Amino acid sequence: MSSHVETEIRVTLNIWRQEGPDDRGHFDTFQLKVPTDASFLEMLDILNEELILDGREPIAFDHDCREGICGMCSLVINGRPHGPDRETTTCQLHMRRFKDGESITIEPFRADAFPVVKDLVIDRSAFDRIQAAGGFVSVGTGSAPDAHCIPVPKERAEEAFDAAACIGCGACVAACPNAAAMLFTAAKVSQLALLPQGAPERARRAQAMVSAMDAEGFGNCTNHYECEIACPKAISVGHIARLNREYLRSVAVSRE
């Protein structure tokens, strides 16, 4: 028989409420008793069940996979994107990480380019438009070749895979004092710049994606490195250096 004993803690939740992008918004405070085995999103589920039973409006928050894959669960918890644990999404955070009687402040990601839809839900379609500007391969290559037909050095393949691990959650933007999207854009550019499949469109990709990033109103990178610390997939700021090189290269090529 299992000797596991589920324990509970009481927490005070200060949660951001906002009807829409034009509403000023405010914090509401709730008292909740929750199992320590519950994930952070399950804790919000428990709160919403209580609110619905009381005839009150539930908290709106984003979620989907709840496995750290999709990035939709993005929240600022006690001032930190995704909460206190490194390389962890909000849905992977559990209530055992908090103490009995602790106060927890929960907010949406803050950035002009990420307008609040409602409560803790933000609109991250700005990332989609950056991706659509050039984060793809459109050159016709015929049917898929065997995996070993295009030689790629192991180191470059691994670095490209590390960049491709970006889930586009926006934690880098939320953590940056300038609300810069450089780490996200760099990961998407770097992933293709490192592989031969991305070479045909390399000259225009960086310019197009950086222009789209600027048009969305994101800030500039000033090397605070907060983005790397907040990233749940530990995307390295080294990719930002590559983005800068790719951008300068693309400008030089376009002037030839």
Q: DSSP secondary structure string, 202-256?
A: HHHHHHHHHHHHHHTT-B---S--HHHHH-TT---THHHHHHHHHHHHHHHHHT-
pLDDT at 181: 98
For residues 188 and 105, state if they share a domain. no
User: Are both 158 and 244 inside the same structural domain?
Assistant: yes
Residue 46, C-beta contacts closer than 8 angstroms, at least 6 positions apart:
32, 34, 38
Q: Is residue 2 included in any domain, yes or no?
A: no
Domain boundary, last residue among 95, 117, 139: 117
Does residue 170 belong to any structural domain of this protein? yes
Q: What is the pLDDT of residue 38?
A: 97
Question: Which pLDDT score, from 0 to 100, does residue 32 have?
Answer: 98
Among the candidates 98, 117, 136, a domain finishes at: 117
pLDDT averaged over consecutive 10-residue blocks of the chain (256 residues)? 72 97 96 97 98 98 95 96 97 97 97 97 98 87 69 91 96 97 97 91 92 96 95 96 93 76
Q: What is the pLDDT of residue 143?
A: 73
Q: Could you tell me if 133 and 249 lie in one domain?
A: yes
Question: Are 192 and 96 members of one domain?
Answer: no
Structural domains counted in the chain: 2
Domain that holds residue 236: 125-254
Query: Residues 135, 198, 240, 93: what is their CA dihedral angle, to the nearest 10 degrees?
Result: 60
> For position 34, what pLDDT does the model report?
97
Q: Residues 140, 66: one domain? A: no
Whole-number Å distance between alpha carbons of 221 and 225: 9
Check which CATH number belongs to the domain holding 206 and give it: 1.10.1060.10
> Can you tell me which residue has the tokens 């693309």?
250
158 and 250 share one domain: yes
pLDDT at residue 197, as a whole number: 86
pLDDT at 208: 95
Tell me: do 232 and 200 sit in the same domain.
yes
Domain co-membership, 141 together with 109: no
**Domain-terminating residue out of 56, 86, 117:** 117
Report the predicted TM-score, pTM, of the whole model to 2 decimal places.
0.92
